[in-house]
Amino acid sequence: MSTSHTGSSTTALSNSPTLSFRDALSSFDGQEDGSAADSPVSSSSSREPSLDVSADGMDVEFANPSMESVILSEESVPRRTLRKRVITSKGSSLRFKPASVSAMTARHGTTSEDNLKKKAYKQAFLQSAARAQSERETRVREVKKRALAIISTGKTPATSRQRLVMQMVYDEITPYPDEAWVSQLGVIINREYHQVKNWFSNQRQKDARDSRQHTPQPATPASLEASLCKITCDGRDLRLRTAALNSCRAEDWSDTFFDEVVMIYNFRLLAKHSQEEAMATLVESEPDVAIPL
């Protein structure tokens, strides 16, 4: 809006400080078309926004603030993204649209599938554990049957090799082998089941007597239990020496591992005993050589 405009619109702007917004726009349109524009000054009212044009024609003020906010809001609408509101049955408005029924059904279906998968995995795990336990019990019965079938030597003491193997198990692994380990031990060293079991019982009693003789307070059971740690091995509880757990983790101990340890130790003793017998036989077979005087 500059002072270079001519015609009736210039006269109207100079004569009246206030002009209706519509008239102002129509006057400018008329100038652009080259025709005179009507500018009824008296038609402006308080209900319509009016313009206050200063001398230089650049300052514009709205006479009605409410209409100013309406115009500004209408101009700003295209640049904003309004979120849809959903009117509920009670007339209250929600900020966001609720999830669709199909989405809720899909989520519910996914949760149900996850629960079914978890139940299936759990059931499979329980079945596998029960099957493994049943197989172990069958194996233990077979090994015990073999150990019981070994001819008992009665009160004949164990051989040095048999005694060393049982002593290794007592000192390094556990003084309380269960039925499965006693059976395995008896089969490996070729000693009857009850003889092996009685040896461990007698050894525990012997250690208790020795401890009472050297210690004024009878705290042998407590001291023995203090050196043991309870673990779960193939589905049952066992008490193992701390040294055994230092050499092998608790979760790695099993009937198979115990069988391997005892077999290796027994094999080494057999090999050593064979070497000693061979050396003794060689010495005995050598002729005596006379030493000249």
- The span from the CA of 195 to the CA of 153, in Å, is 8
- The span from the CA of 55 to the CA of 32, in Å, is 22
pLDDT under 70: residue ranges of the chain: 1-109, 214-225, 286-293
φ, ψ of residue 176 to 5 degrees: the values are: -125, 65
Q: What residue spans define the domains of the chain?
A: 8-77, 158-275
SS3 state of residue 268: helix
- Provide the token pair at 11: 């006269």
Instruction: Check residue 5 and give its pLDDT.
Output: 43
Instruction: Check residue 204 and give its pLDDT.
Output: 92
Instruction: Check residue 9 and give its pLDDT.
Output: 44
Instruction: Check residue 230 and give its pLDDT.
Output: 92
Cross-strand bridge partners of residue 93? 87
Instruction: Check residue 34 and give its pLDDT.
Output: 47
Token match 């779960």: residue? Answer: 232
Cross-strand bridge partners of residue 231? 238
- The span from the CA of 158 to the CA of 144, in Å, is 19
Contact status, residue 207 vs residue 224, Cβ threshold 8 Å:
yes
Token match 């198990």: residue? Answer: 169
Name 187's Cβ contacts closer than 8 Å, sequence gap at least 6. 143, 146, 147, 150
Residues 176-218: pLDDT tens digits?
999 999 999 999 999 999 999 999 999 999 988 887 776 655 5
The helix (run of H) or strand (run of E) holding residue 195 is helix 193-214
Contact status, residue 79 vs residue 53, Cβ threshold 8 Å:
no
- The span from the CA of 281 to the CA of 276, in Å, is 9
